[in-house]
Chains A and B, each alone.
Chain A
Amino acid sequence: MSTERPLVEVHDAARWFDVSAPWLERVLSRKPRSILRAVDGVSFSIRKGETLALVGESGCGKSTIARMLVGLYPLTRGSITFDGQPISNMQGRSGLALRKRLQMIFQDPYASLNPRWRVGRIIAEPMLAHTDMTEQERDDRVDVLLTQVGLHPSDQSRFPHQFSGGQRQRISIARALAVNPEFLVCDEPTSALDVSVQAQVLNIMKDLQRNLGLTYLFISHNLAVVHHVADRVGVMYLGRIVEIADRDTLFANPQHPYTRMLLSAIPDMTGQGRKRTPVAGEVPNPLNPPSGCTFHPRCPFVRERCKIEAPATQNFKGVEIACHGVAEGWPMQV
């Protein structure tokens, strides 16, 4: 295993949103400030060439952390570095050079392309911002990119609405690859697509990763898709990471009670009558998270300590996990 520094390092990153009512209203109704802790202390690293998947349900903060990684949201706390350089510094000249190396693919294929622009112009936009290629050079590169994602060079003169969801997502990928980035953040890129179209897009993404040496951060709520694409998987719950492990380890031997609950809740095509951890409760309101370990109201193994103290992340045989029960070796069999 190489000892070189990971490409992306995230350390205790947090993003809080102030969603309080306006000042006057607060004074009159004596309400306290409302802070949404969308991401509340997340740490992980990604090696060059690998795919880290972040998985979780609504309100867990995975989309927020994705946007923090590309500089769309400033950090409230903590640090994110890309190849040693802090992401918080994405303004100005040096910021532009940094932006060239990381790009993002969004979830909604219908909203991520400007409906008034032609496809060729959309794909060429990063080139205009970062390089001084001539128009002919840009045209040629757009042809190459369209072919790489399985579309036709003549498609560059058409408008997004003339394409299907899966094709639009490919156009998004082509745009993201326009200036040869090293790192792609993919925010639920196939969640809005039909299953067979999803297969096409996932296959292309894997091919591209292999051919171009890309590093991916893959956000999803779909564990089966994650199982297909990821090398390592991180599970998020209410703004924190509860477990990170290698893909095979996580799926074969999940440690955190939430991970186990998630895995047993997935509707499965092949199995019937498999063991299930009882599924209880719903994701609480992120504005008012439970005390201590935020998962404690739904945890079948909860004890007093869980209600008071939030567990720290510890490393157990290569698995990073935040759970008192695992740390202290409580019996947690179903």
Chain B
Amino acid sequence: MGTLARAFADALGLLWNMEPALVEAVVLTLQVTLIALVIALVIGVPIGAAIGLTRHLPGRWLIVPLIYTGMGLPPVTVGLFTYLVLSNQGPLGGLGWLFTPAGMIVAQTIIAFPLVVGLTMAAVQGVDPNLPVQMLSLGATRRQVATVTLLEARVGVTAAVVAAYGAIISEVGAVMLVGGNIEGETRVLTTAIVLETRKGNFALAMALGIILLTLAFVTNFAFHRLQVHQGVR
């Protein structure tokens, strides 16, 4: 208990002093997480909505289980796959993205994408199927029907954002493999925690953990406010 309490007290000290190593890890974590999240959303939300809205989708019997499997992909496998693709001998080795934030973003996007698609699809399917009919009757184009349905499913779509964000900000395995945990370049909060714990720097690891939890909480708090607000209107 003594170690834990001391580590916690020292962690607060480090936070108070805004240690440069901390700040760097925080900035990079947010960069990688948010960019990957935005890419996954931009591609995943329309695809999820399209699958959810298309009643007679050929191959649905295969597509849907594949998406569900993707939602539970072990991040470390994604890391391994991305590593091989981005390594010098890999098909995308020429990009030189291995051990860079860009490579980490690729891995995180792959992890977030099925979550976004699957949960958006489920949210859209939860909307009463008579709503699109009513919107068509009111003069909506196909595209407008999709937009209105997606907005109607907004609470569920926000849940997709939350799940994807949570999965990638807290993820270690893939960013460790693909990023390499290089200080000042590819070290994010989670990989830093692993390293500092192994080195016995419990205070620093604890400080990093507190920041990680705070980031997750603050963002989710904001998402929740958004959901509450949406539920009313």
Do chains A and B stick together as partners?
Answer: no
